[in-house]
Amino acid sequence: MIDIGTLYIIATPIGNLSDITLRALETLKEVDFILCEDTRVTKKLLSHYDINKPLLSYHQHSKLSKIDKIAELLEGGKNLALVSDAGTPGVSDPGNELIARLLEQPNLINSDKNVKIIPIPGPSSVLTLLSVSGIDVSKFLFLGFLPHKKGRKTLIEKIKESEYPVVVFESKHRLLKLLNEFKESDSYIVVGRELTKMFEEILRGDANEICEYFEKNPGKLKGEFVVIFSKKM
């Protein structure tokens, strides 16, 4: 009987390619296949560390047939690594759905040796910004990307009233909209852009101050942002 393979959930750099653990590199060298959001992005990382492994795309638009294919590889004893374009898979990305569906596969959970899903921890944009926020983050809430329409207004009000710091992701297209929704609040805000990269920048202040900064520097509205909201310090 063939042993069921192992799926490794591997955190990769959020910008600086040096921010990867030795364990992550060792695992990427040993697995049979690497599942990734964008093969072009993952190839850059692998090329930097001279790792040559077969890549399979897995992203938010992947169909159920792709999950079936991944399950078949695990059933066949293949060891797989799942990576996202940046950071820890499964956090605001489709990796969590893959794990959930694999745990529902009868051939993977009803065998003598169940599928192993092993985390290889590492970079996280959320923890990166929290660590330099200067805010008491012994407790915090993480909400990922906020809804664009349905339920957004209610959620914004809950963030304003939260007794704990709240962390969200936002895109370059909607950052100013988000900040404008907090102009009448007493929230203290920390915004991280280009975290760990050459032009890393961390902004602190109220919504009016940070909005004014980006309005004067529209060229800095690039990439994705991590934003922390908390009570006035």
pLDDT at 104: 82
CB 76 within 8 A of CB 2: yes
pLDDT at 58: 87
pLDDT at 114: 72
pLDDT at 61: 67
Question: For residue 118, which phi and psi values (nearest 5 degrees)?
Answer: -115, 125
Which tens digit of pLDDT belongs to each residue from 15-66? 999 999 999 999 999 999 999 999 999 999 999 999 999 999 887 666 677 8
CATH 3.30.950.10 domain position(s) in the chain: 125-230
Nearest to 127 by CA among 119, 137, 116: 137
| Domain at 6-120: CATH code | 3.40.1010.10
Q: Is the pLDDT of residue 233 over 70?
A: no
CA dihedral sign of residues 206, 188, 93, 52: positive
pLDDT at 113: 62
Show the DSSP H helices in the chain as ranges: 22-30, 39-48, 64-75, 95-102, 106-109, 125-131, 152-161, 175-180, 207-216
Long-range contacts of 100-109 (CB under 8 A, 24+ apart): 101/64, 101/67, 102/7, 102/67, 102/70, 102/71, 102/74, 105/71, 107/71, 107/75, 108/4, 108/71, 108/74, 108/75
CB 32 within 8 A of CB 80: yes
Better-scored residue on pLDDT, 116 or 79 = 79
Which tens digit of pLDDT belongs to each residue from 56-103? 988 766 667 788 899 899 989 999 999 999 999 988 777 888 888 888
Q: Does domain 125-230 have CATH number 3.30.950.10?
A: yes
CATH 3.40.1010.10 domain position(s) in the chain: 6-120
pLDDT at 1: 57
Which tens digit of pLDDT belongs to each residue from 127-178? 999 999 999 999 999 999 999 889 999 999 999 999 999 999 999 999 999 9
DSSP, collapsed to helix, strand or coil, labels residue 22 as: helix
Q: Is the pLDDT of residue 112 over 70?
A: no
Tokens of 232: 């006035």
